[in-house]
Amino acid sequence: MRATKFNPWTWQDDFGFTQAWRLDGVGALVLLSGQTGVDADGKVVHRDDFAAECRLLFDNVAEVMRQAGGSLDDIFMITVYMTDIGDLAAFTEVEKEYFTARLPARTAVGVTGLAVSGLRVEVEATAVLPEGRS
């Protein structure tokens, strides 16, 4: 699979933002439903620590990707739903800890609430596995 990044402007570099990815020679498409910072029992465990909630969220995303035969490196698009869009910079800092090779394209949306009370952030993702890997 060949991945080509498109950032036609420079402003997005300051925000850790990727405008688009073109993927050629792709294999399987993996669509992740909303992932959150809940533990293995579905309990909210980081009500007062946003960064810890984000880390658990990304750990959960990584586990779903592992189960699907991939990794975080296979994710090319995420949509972030936040109850306080003012937390976006803090979210981005944690995101950079997990996506070290390249940042996926991203949309961030401020919402009035999430399905599980006490959560502040949810992420859905689109991943593409290289041909031959499933």
Is residue 2 in some structural domain?
A: no
User: With 80 as the cut, is the pLDDT of residue 18 above it?
Assistant: no
Domain membership of residue 34 as a residue range: 26-130
* 124 found inside a domain: yes
Whether 51 has a pLDDT exceeding 90, the answer reads yes
pLDDT at 93 over 80: yes
Comparing C-alpha atoms, which of 77, 73, 65, 78 is closest to residue 134? 65
12 inside domain:
no
- 72 domain-assigned: yes
Mean pLDDT confidence for 115-125 = 95
Say how far apart CA 90 and CA 25 lie, in whole Å.
34
Q: Is the pLDDT of residue 14 over 90?
A: no
CATH number for the domain harbouring residue 34: 3.30.1330.40
Highest mean pLDDT among 2-6, 55-59, 61-65, 130-134: 55-59
pTM of the predicted protein model: 0.83
Mean pLDDT on 69-73: 93
Number of domains in the chain: 1
Q: What confidence category does residue 133 fall into, taking pLDDT thresholds of 50, 70 and 90?
A: low
pLDDT attached to residue 53? 97
In the predicted structure, residue 107 carries a pLDDT above the cut 60 = yes
Averaged pLDDT score across all residues of the chain: 89
User: At residue 56, what are phi and psi to the nearest 5 degrees?
Assistant: -65, -40
The interaxial angle of helices 50-67 and 88-98, nearest 10 deg, is 40
User: Does any domain span residue 50?
Assistant: yes
With a cut of 60, say whether residue 134 has pLDDT above it: no
